Amino acid sequence: MRGNKRSRSMARIQTRLPGNGHTTHFVRRRPKYAHCPITGAKLHGVPRLRPAQIRKLSKTERTVSRYYGGKISHTALSDAIRKKVLEEYSK
């Protein structure tokens, strides 16, 4: 096996060939889910793909259509809005 394939950075998939032969295909592993930097929650609506594959998607498939969509979670956003509104009323 080639040296760059020996590490487990690429997933190994055993594939059956015609004539009942077998071979190993190497594919890049899927990345982890995108997480909110504030709450640490998983971001819904953000695809779990490699950057090259994400670039091929349309803008609406890449993110969520709201303020800070795909960057922070909805709970962090609603908390920030509530905090801002309370600051305005307390003045």
**Interval 30-50 mean pLDDT:** 94
**In b/e form, how buried is each residue of 37-54, taking b as 16+ CB within 10 angstroms?**
eeeeeebeebeeeeeeee
Band (2; pLDDT cuts 50, 70, 90): confident
Mean pLDDT within 69-87: 94
**Is 15 exposed, middle or buried (CB count within 10 Å of its CB: 0-12, 13-18, 19+)?**
exposed
Confidence of residue 4 (pLDDT cuts 50, 70, 90): confident
The length of the chain is 91
What's the alpha-carbon Rg for the chain, to the nearest Å? 21
Question: Does pTM top 0.75 for this prediction?
Answer: no
| Angstrom distance (rounded) from CA 32 to CA 63 | 16
Residue 1 in this model has a pLDDT that exceeds 80: no
